[in-house]
Amino acid sequence: KAGVTQTPRYLIKTRGQQVTLSCSPISGHRSVSWYQQTPGQGLQFLFEYFSETQRNKGNFPGRFSGRQFSNSRSEMNVSTLELGDSALYLCASSLESDREGSPLHFGNGTRLTVT
């Protein structure tokens, strides 16, 4: 079974631009979560989607948004990029939520660099 696939693997953008990252979950997984990983803050939760609905959102500004499609694939968008948005963005999928004992399975991330 293929794992979580994230595209692109690397991105370089300029301040003020916007970016869209894509995630394909493991087949059959209906929950998709996004995390931001930086050396200073570690792994921080962005948002979680299930059946095209956002169920929870982390403490990030409104410039960060996402969506999930009917096939469970997900995208996240960051508008008006800032230097501090440079990070590894990780997508993870699970059958349900972790409350059900279904752990998250992560992709290898998209490395975003904002210059």
| Residues near another protein (CB under 8 A) | 4, 31, 33, 35, 42-45, 48, 50, 55-56, 58, 90, 92, 97-99, 101, 103-109
Q: Could you tell me the smallest distance in angstroms from the CB atom of residue 63 to another protein?
A: 19
Nearest to 81 by CA among 112, 50, 37: 112
Nearer to another protein by C-beta: 12 or 43?
A: 43
Residue carrying structure tokens 């299930």: 50
Measured from the CB atom, the residue of 20 and 106 that comes closer to another protein is 106
Minimum distance between the CB of residue 93 and another protein, rounded to whole angstroms? 11
Nearer to another protein, 15 or 95 (CB): 95
Q: How far is the CB of 15 from another protein (least distance, A)?
A: 26
Q: Which is nearer to another protein, 22 or 44 (CB)?
A: 44
φ, ψ of residue 11 in degrees (nearest 5): -145, 140
Secondary structure E strands in 1-115: 5-7, 10-13, 19-24, 31-38, 42-50, 53-57, 64-68, 74-78, 87-94, 105-106, 110-114
As a whole number of angstroms, the distance between CA 51 and CA 29 comes to: 10
